[in-house]
Structure 1
């Protein structure tokens, strides 16, 4: 997906909040710590630094929700991130996302009060969530001993 494709899908998926622009996606994708995970009709953008991986955004086309696309993207992120912990924030009124994240072991660790603006509606809290990621075994090359060995 191009930055324009990402922005178009993000605009469709996030109608209550300001969608990200193609320029914002383009800038993020130049960061070597940012990864783009893709499925037809959905994507996730993550950033991994210092043993922590953050879900920056996850978007699924509204016509393709409830088809396990977000679940697959979240699973891929959690299984491939080279980190010990994952974290994210989500709008408190996004009940489907909250249920998905809890299913994957995320727990609420804090809140940002009235963080998300809503057009013609009260602001909504951001829920901060964290989960432990599976431990990875160090991969050793043949003939090169490990540092512990």
Structure 2
């Protein structure tokens, strides 16, 4: 059941764009801008050290995020706001939720990332949707570890569900690491089901390969948007 800070799972099918989700006070979700790419790419590298997207990949994706009437098939968003609980000299740890890349634990210097502390307006999450009806795909979804527990991941996921439906997709697909149960539980709570497994799709931790580690399966999950 959603917490009070999380959005409801609904959308306005008559709107030209899916309604922005309800976020905690002080946070907002908006279109990813070219000026956001350095911050997004830095967060990508911090969270997903084994298979982070290169900056050129984000640039290629954003170049396709033109208005839908002009043939755009992508939509990328960022969530910005203050770093929760930031204070001078403190650190935060956590595990990121993602639909496409390795999940990781990050340790951050809150002063470095927040700058002005609680008043800072920093990129705390980002997501990307590809839609070529009748299918849509979660390209990526990630939340800064220090911002977990505030409904930001849920907000982005539900926005992509709503936007995919508005774009007339009948199914929304995503990939998640088999060793990321936290993300799997998030997706299951919002109507996604496991439909296929890609064996050895993700790289594993090289340091663990000698002790039985190796590549990690990808679970393909689907949410029906009609019927």
Shared topology, TM-score over 0.5? yes
Tell me which residue corresponds to 1:9: 43
Structure 2 residue ranges without an equivalent (≥5): 1-31, 65-71, 81-123, 209-213
Listed as ranges, the gaps of 5+ residues in structure 1 are 136-149
TM (normalized to structure 1)?
0.83
User: How does the TM-score come out when normalised to structure 2?
Assistant: 0.56
Deviations along 1:51-82, one digit per CA (max 9) or x if unpaired, are 21100111111111222111000011111221
- Quick one: distance in 2 between partners of 1:133 and 1:6? 29
Describe how 1:31-110 pairs up with structure 2 within 5 A: 31=64, 32-40=72-80, 41-81=124-164, 82=167, 83-110=169-196
Q: Specify which structure has the bigger relative contact order, considering alpha-carbon pairs within 8 angstroms and separated by 6 or more residues.
A: 2
1:102-140 CA-partner distances (Å, limit 9, x unpaired): 0110000100111111222321100000111257xxxxx
Distance verdict in 2 for CA 1:38–1:134, change over 3 Å: farther
Contact 1:113 / 1:126 at 8 angstroms: preserved in 2? yes
Q: Alpha carbon RMSD of aligned pairs, Å?
A: 1.5
Structure 2 counterpart of 1:147: none
User: 1:6, 1:22 within 8 Å by CA — same for their partners in 2?
Assistant: no
Residues 70-102 of structure 1, C-alpha deviations (whole Å, 9 max, x = no match): 100001111122111100101001111101110
How many residue pairs get aligned? The number is 134
Report the structure, 1 or 2, having the larger strand content: 1
